[in-house]
Amino acid sequence: MTTDTKQLRQPATLESHGLEKIKPHLELIAALLSGVLILVGWLLDKNGLGTSAVIIYLMAFIIGGFAKAKEGIEDTIEDKELNVEMLMIFAAIGSAIIGYWTEGAILIFIFALSGALETYTMNKSHKEISALMDLQPEEALRVTNGYSETVAVSQLVVGDLILVKPGERVPSDGTITDGRTNIDQAAITGESVPVTKSVGDEVFAGTVNLRGTITIEITKPSNETLFQKIITLVQSAQSEKSPSQLFIERFEGTYVKVVLAVVALMMFVPHFALGWSWTETFYRAMILLVVASPCALVASIMPATLSAISNGARHGILFKGGVHLENLGNLQAIALDKTGTLTKGKPEVTDVVIRENLQEEDFLLRVASIENYSNHPLATAIVRYAKSRITKELVKPTDMEDISGNGVQAYFGNEFWQVGRASFVGRDEAEQFQNGIALSLANEGKTIVFAKDEHGIAGIITLKDVVREETVKAIEALKKEGIYTVMLTGDGEKTARAIAIESHIDAYIAECLPETKVDEIKKLKEQFGTVAMVGDGINDAPALATASVGIAMGEGTDVALETADVVLMKNNLPRIAEAVKLSKKMNRIIKQNVIFSIVVIMLLISSNFLQFLDLPYGVIGHEGSTILVILNSLRLLRS
């Protein structure tokens, strides 16, 4: 390409960029321009320049009404069904025919303005997607055999190694293979505090590497990243319509036909039946055409739904469609999985009880040194706890042996130690230790690990899948909304009861298999009607699909995310109550809009039949109600 060609093409690029910026506002610009033309036309008419005024009004008709007329005609041809836009076109043309150019132009202006407001709502609802897509890097630095090359993110495949430098965004989901850094995950999880990440930790596309250079092994294709799933979820939510919206759309076609039929009768019947003049008859028919159009009714639902979905996305609650958002407001009961939902999903040490002649640090050093060579989750939790409490380095014991399903044994010098369950160290001795303290701790839902040396039971360590800090707050918030709470868990009776009490859950069902959870959800639906299920694992997927509304934790499995209707991005349980409140507010605003628009239509139609209503007031009353309905819906954006 020559330099001249580059210079010739550059202005075109800038021009197209400028058009892209203006494009979302074209509808509003056209509406406002038609308003200015109406003012000019009115001034010309007042000064006796009627012909010039008509030309200006005609321009206002074309500029203000083009977008809506095009939309109405295209939809009518496509659906083979008349719509509200066509009613407005007929009403404006009818007004002009009987000489009411100003009123017809004002009708077009206000209709165009309400359309621009609706477009604004749509654009606002898409804003979260646009903002997210801007965070997606387009290129990545791929490392192959020591050499690095810049490639498109779409070319990355699972197993590729990429280099991410400080200040750069992570291009795709992966695991760190080299380096240590702080990652800003606010775009994905909403966490305001950066998270420390090192070798073996997972990182997500769209997050920011703040400190060190890291090497990442790609674990997912670019089209399957968590980041991409968020975008897909919001897009699908905005395209899916709620039951109320679908009803209004079905109702609209029939209503338009009825209105046109009544208007046709209105052009003749009053002249013969009531003695109205032909001018008055036609005039009243045109007013009826304007005021009977269900613009406000049609605009009652979609802007409110889109605003609520947009609000939820901004706060980390992703709805897969308006139907789920609407259902959430009618929720009567909610079932919650335990592990990873109510609890952290990882066991943590809660108690350490030792023999009187031992020091806690020495005890933890020996137990942790033995458990350090086991990959069992309980062993990992004990080692993690011990490292945070002792100052000495762990040592390697000798003659270590892992007895599968029972525990681990090893020597520290001449000391023989055993760590494991009661039957492994001696049940009678274990149960009598410290006056049977193990039994009372087990009744609290805790798992007991016994440690024994040559002198008998040296101590016990208890572990528990700890309830999340926010769980009680979330459950109490749900109860305030009048929602019955139930915990479904595969754990045993003791653990389930302890977690249920600690979480303030109304009821619990223990020892649940995946099919049991489905059966319990069905029972709850029979008893309460609308029931939600909250879970994060593969075993929760059938129950999520069975519930009226399935809610998945954002850090859960891919299957749970795919199956659920609502996703909580930061595993933030209190967001469920917020989502319920948002849904109730949306349903309340929709009811307000529908009732208000029907009352206005009935009032305007009655006033017209009684010959109280003139066309200008009919236009203002009708289109003004549409604008008010949309503005009322927009309140959901900032709640």
Quick one: pLDDT at residue 291? Answer: 80
Average pLDDT value for residue range 351-372: 89
The 3-state DSSP composition of the chain as helix, strand, coil percent (nearest 5) reads 60, 20, 25
* Residue 307 CA, distance from chain mean position: 12
Residue 237 pLDDT grade (very low, low, confident, very high; cuts 50, 70, 90): very low
Residue 5 has pLDDT above 50, yes or no: no
Question: Which tops the pLDDT comparison, 139 or 314?
Answer: 139
Cα separation, 284 vs 169, in Å, equals 63
Cα separation, 383 vs 394, in Å, equals 9
Q: Report pLDDT digits (tens) over 433-450.
A: 888 898 888 888 788 899
Residue 225 has pLDDT above 90, yes or no: no
Quick one: pLDDT at residue 475? Answer: 93
Going 46 to 48 to 49 to 53, the CA torsion angle's sign is positive
Question: Which tops the pLDDT comparison, 565 or 361?
Answer: 361
- CB 88 within 8 Å of CB 113: no
Question: Which tops the pLDDT comparison, 461 or 465?
Answer: 461
Residue 233 has pLDDT above 70, yes or no: no
What is the pLDDT of the chain when averaged over all its residues? 80
**What SS3 string covers 43-112?**
HHHHCCCHHHHHHHHHHHHHHHHHHHHHHHHHHHHHHCCCCHHHHHHHHHHHHHHCCCHHHHHHHHHHHH
Residue 485 pLDDT grade (very low, low, confident, very high; cuts 50, 70, 90): very high
Quick one: pLDDT at residue 13? Answer: 43
- CB 407 within 8 Å of CB 427: no
Token pair, residue 562, equals 């795919």
Quick one: pLDDT at residue 506? Answer: 94
Q: Report pLDDT digits (tens) over 380-424.
A: 889 989 998 888 888 888 888 877 667 889 998 888 999 988 888
Q: Report pLDDT digits (tens) over 291-332.
A: 887 777 777 887 888 888 888 877 888 887 777 888 888 899
CA distances from 626 to 111, 301, 506, 629 (A): 8, 12, 45, 5
Residue 561 has pLDDT above 70, yes or no: no
Residue 50 has pLDDT above 80, yes or no: no
Question: Which tops the pLDDT comparison, 369 or 137?
Answer: 369
Quick one: pLDDT at residue 263? Answer: 81
Average pLDDT value for residue range 41-48: 80
Question: Which tops the pLDDT comparison, 359 or 251?
Answer: 359
Residue 131 has pLDDT above 80, yes or no: no
Residue 584 pLDDT grade (very low, low, confident, very high; cuts 50, 70, 90): very high
Given 2.70.150.10, 2.60.40.2140, 3.40.30.10, 3.40.630.10, which CATH number is that of 157-221?
2.70.150.10
CATH architecture of structural domain 319-343+468-584: 3-Layer(aba) Sandwich (3.40)
Residue 117 pLDDT grade (very low, low, confident, very high; cuts 50, 70, 90): low
Residue 555 pLDDT grade (very low, low, confident, very high; cuts 50, 70, 90): low
Token pair, residue 605, equals 């139609």
Quick one: pLDDT at residue 504? Answer: 92
Quick one: pLDDT at residue 557? Answer: 54
User: Any idea which of 159-168, 221-230, 365-374 has the lowest mean pLDDT?
Assistant: 221-230
In sequence order, the β-bridge partners of residue 416 are: 411
Quick one: pLDDT at residue 12? Answer: 42
Residue 163 pLDDT grade (very low, low, confident, very high; cuts 50, 70, 90): very high
Q: In what order do the strands lie in the sheet with 208-209?
A: 195-197, 181-184, 208-209
Residue 335 has pLDDT above 90, yes or no: yes
What is the number of other CB atoms lying within 10 angstroms of the CB of residue 453?
18
Question: Which tops the pLDDT comparison, 116 or 149?
Answer: 149
Q: Report pLDDT digits (tens) over 521-552.
A: 999 999 999 999 998 766 677 888 888 888 88
Quick one: pLDDT at residue 527? Answer: 93
Question: Which tops the pLDDT comparison, 102 or 453?
Answer: 453
Largest CA distance in the chain: 119
- CB 206 within 8 Å of CB 183: no
Q: Per the residue annotation, which of 45, 160, 173, 337 is the catalytic one?
A: 337
Residue 3 pLDDT grade (very low, low, confident, very high; cuts 50, 70, 90): very low
Residue 334 has pLDDT above 90, yes or no: yes
Quick one: pLDDT at residue 160? Answer: 92
Quick one: pLDDT at residue 20? Answer: 52
Residue 576 has pLDDT above 60, yes or no: yes
Percent of the chain with pLDDT over 70: 84
Residue 484 has pLDDT above 90, yes or no: yes
Residue 244 pLDDT grade (very low, low, confident, very high; cuts 50, 70, 90): low
What is the number of other CB atoms lying within 10 angstroms of the CB of residue 247?
12
Quick one: pLDDT at residue 2? Answer: 38
What is the number of other CB atoms lying within 10 angstroms of the CB of residue 375?
8
Average pLDDT value for residue range 99-104: 75
Break the chain into its structural domains and give their ranges. Answer: 22-135, 157-221, 242-316+585-638, 319-343+468-584, 344-466
Cα separation, 187 vs 123, in Å, equals 20
Quick one: pLDDT at residue 620? Answer: 79
CATH architecture of structural domain 344-466: 3-Layer(aba) Sandwich (3.40)
CA angle (496, 451, 346) in 5-degree steps: 35
Average pLDDT value for residue range 240-255: 65
Asked if 453 is an active-site residue, the reply is no
**What SS3 string covers 417-463?**
EEEECHHHHCHHHHHHHHHCHHHHHHCCCCEEEEEEECCEEEEEEEE
User: What pTM, to 2 d.p., does this model score?
Assistant: 0.63
What is the number of other CB atoms lying within 10 angstroms of the CB of residue 156?
20
How do beta strands 566-568 and 549-553 pair? parallel
Among 100-109, 158-167, 342-351, name the most confident range. Answer: 158-167
Residue 497 has pLDDT above 70, yes or no: yes
